[in-house]
């Protein structure tokens, strides 16, 4: 068992001592979630090699990681669709396990350009699993999504809920999960964990790292912060006639630092447990759009003008996680609430109105 350790300055989380020693390759390391994982993992003394093709992130993220942690991260600019470059990374570096964040993530875009999504998310992951196999690496934590469940047959979703994704993005996540499952069935030495994220928001509490979407944000929280900082006039709320507390959509929002820590617990788990596991990472409760807006206004003292718009195509009314499997297997549950999520999202955006640029 891990022992309780100190609070790491600035993280707000109670962390446990890391009791494993692994060289970890982090794919998609400079993205929103990957960068927060890297900060926490470096602060916990883990040995990381960061990999990204910088398609959806800035090299300035590396400076931010260095400033927050005092550690210069090792970084390689590689595209996981390029198998020979990926092989070279494994051939020239010690790698004991992989955390795999790399991929595309926009649901609407995936419907418009499904092949691009399959090529990157599925083919890229297949390359990675093949390179791992060829170099004897059998431990992986993969970024999956609650999108794999599709329309809720019950709420909260447990991991046993049927997988029926209804967009290409969700399909790509489901296919990668299936590859991981099959690989574990083929060889008992594999230890592969798919973490099904709910709705990650917030930022590092230092205000030095955060979410930096290109163009007009698709997701709710970055849209709210862009309104707060004056770059967008008002929030459009997609529907107020759902069967929810106030008619607006309900989601399970999770602080990105809590999510990052879930990966460290998952690495600890797969260090001593073989086989495949799919595990929800969520808070286990939902908030409506208007509840999130009013928490943002209350905590940050900034008003968010909004207008009710029609429902967004393909949106679900409400879903949230049953997060008990994560607690049982990983000893993990969320520690940060909605107040910290909106506080930290605003700390990042207000200090960096143009993100990393």
- Residues marked active site are found at 169
Single out the residue of 18, 25, 31, 262 in contact with ligand NAD (rule: CB under 6 A). Answer: 31
The reply to whether 315 sits near ligand UDP by the rule CB under 6 A is yes
Q: What are the DSSP calls for 309-346, one per residue?
A: EPPPTT--SB--B--HHHHHHH-------HHHHHHHHH
Looking at the Cβ atoms of 16 and 172, the one nearer to ligand NAD is: 172
The reply to whether 249 sits near ligand UDP by the rule CB under 6 A is yes
CA pair distance 9, 43, nearest whole angstrom: 9
Contact 273, 312 (CB under 8 A): no
Looking at the Cβ atoms of 28 and 222, the one nearer to ligand UDP is: 222
Looking at the Cβ atoms of 13 and 146, the one nearer to ligand NAD is: 146
Reported in sequence order, the residue ranges of the chain that DSSP labels E, i.e. its strands, are: 4-7, 14-16, 23-27, 47-52, 74-77, 97-100, 139-145, 191-197, 199-201, 235-238, 250-251, 253-255, 275-281, 287-288, 306-309
Single out the residue of 128, 148, 176, 289 in contact with ligand UDP (rule: CB under 6 A). Answer: 289
> Count of residues binding ligand NAD (CB under 6 A)?
25
User: In whole angstroms, how close is the CB of 17 to ligand NAD at the nearest point?
Assistant: 26
Pairing of strands 14-16, 4-7: antiparallel
Query: Position of tokens 């794919």?
Result: 27
Identify which range of 11-19, 29-37, 267-275, 320-328 contacts ligand NAD by CB under 6 A: 29-37
Residue 349 interacting partner from ligand UDP, ligand NAD, none (CB closer than 5 to 8 Å by kind): none
Structure tokens at 275: 């086989």
Residue 269 interacting partner from ligand NAD, ligand UDP, none (CB closer than 5 to 8 Å by kind): none
Identify which range of 11-19, 97-105, 313-321, 344-352 contacts ligand NAD by CB under 6 A: 97-105
Identify which range of 10-18, 94-102, 233-241, 320-328 contacts ligand UDP by CB under 6 A: 233-241
Structure tokens at 262: 């879930």
The reply to whether 200 sits near ligand NAD by the rule CB under 6 A is yes
- List b or e across 257-293, with b for residues whose CB sees 16 or more CB atoms inside 10 angstroms: bbbbbbbbbbbbbbbeeeebbbbbbbbbebbbbbbbb
CA pair distance 146, 218, nearest whole angstrom: 17
| CA distance to 89, 208, 313, 352, per residue, from 183 (Å) | 22, 39, 35, 43
Single out the residue of 16, 149, 190, 223 in contact with ligand UDP (rule: CB under 6 A). Answer: 223
The reply to whether 283 sits near ligand NAD by the rule CB under 6 A is no
Looking at the Cβ atoms of 16 and 330, the one nearer to ligand NAD is: 330
Contact 83, 58 (CB under 8 A): no
User: In whole angstroms, how close is the CB of 189 to ligand NAD at the nearest point?
Assistant: 25
Identify which of 256, 252, 125, 257 has the alpha carbon closest to the alpha carbon of residue 192. 125
Mark residues 203-222: x for contact with ligand UDP by CB under 6 A, - for none. Answer: ---------------xxx--
Single out the residue of 22, 26, 30, 141 in contact with ligand NAD (rule: CB under 6 A). Answer: 30
For residue 93, with 0-12 CB atoms within 10 Å meaning exposed, 13-18 middle and 19 or more buried, which class applies? middle
Single out the residue of 11, 22, 26, 28 in contact with ligand NAD (rule: CB under 6 A). Answer: 28
Binding site for ligand UDP (CB under 6 A): 199, 218-220, 223, 235-238, 249, 251, 289, 312, 315
* Contact positions vs ligand NAD (CB under 6 A): 28, 30-34, 52-57, 79-81, 101-103, 105, 120, 124, 143, 145, 197, 200
């Amino acid at each position: 068992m891990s022992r309780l350790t100190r609070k790491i300055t600035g993280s707000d989380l109670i962390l446990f001592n890391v009791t494993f020693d692994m060289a970890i390759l982090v794919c998609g390391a400079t993205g929103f979630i990957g960068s927060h994982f890297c900060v926490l993992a470096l602060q916990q003394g883990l040995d990381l090699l960061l990999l990204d093709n910088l398609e959806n992130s800035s090299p300035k993220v590396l400076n931010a990681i260095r400033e927050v942690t005092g550690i210069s991260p090792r970084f390689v600019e590689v595209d996981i669709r390029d198998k020979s470059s990926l092989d070279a990374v494994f051939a020239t570096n010690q790698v004991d396990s992989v955390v795999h964040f790399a991929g595309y993530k926009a649901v609407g875009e995936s419907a418009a350009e499904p092949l691009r999504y399959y090529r990157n998310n599925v083919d890229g992951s297949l390359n990675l699993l093949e390179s791992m196999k060829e170099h004897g690496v059998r431990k992986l934590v993969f970024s999956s999504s609650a999108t794999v469940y599709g329309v809720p047959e019950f709420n909260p979703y447990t991991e046993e809920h049927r997988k029926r994704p209804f967009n290409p993005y969700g399909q790509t996540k489901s296919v990668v999960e299936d590859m991981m499952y099959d690989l574990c069935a083929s060889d008992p030495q594999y230890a592969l964990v798919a973490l099904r994220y709910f709705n990650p928001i917030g930022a590092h509490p230092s205000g030095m790292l955060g979410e930096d979407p290109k163009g007009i944000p698709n997701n709710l929280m970055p849209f709210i912060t862009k309104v707060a900082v004056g770059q967008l006039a008002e929030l459009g709320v997609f529907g107020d006639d759902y069967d929810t507390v106030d008619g607006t959509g309900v989601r399970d929002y999770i602080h990105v630092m809590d999510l990052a820590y879930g990966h460290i617990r998952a690495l600890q788990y797969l260090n001593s447990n073989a086989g495949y596991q799919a595990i929800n990472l969520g808070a286990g409760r939902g908030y409506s759009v208007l509840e999130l807006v009013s928490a943002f206004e209350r905590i940050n003292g900034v008003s968010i003008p909004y207008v009710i718009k029609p429902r967004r195509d393909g949106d679900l009314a409400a879903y949230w996680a049953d997060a008990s499997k994560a607690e049982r297997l990983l000893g993990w549950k969320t520690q940060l609430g909605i107040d910290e999520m909106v506080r930290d999202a605003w700390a990042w955006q207000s200090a960096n109105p143009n993100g990393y640029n």
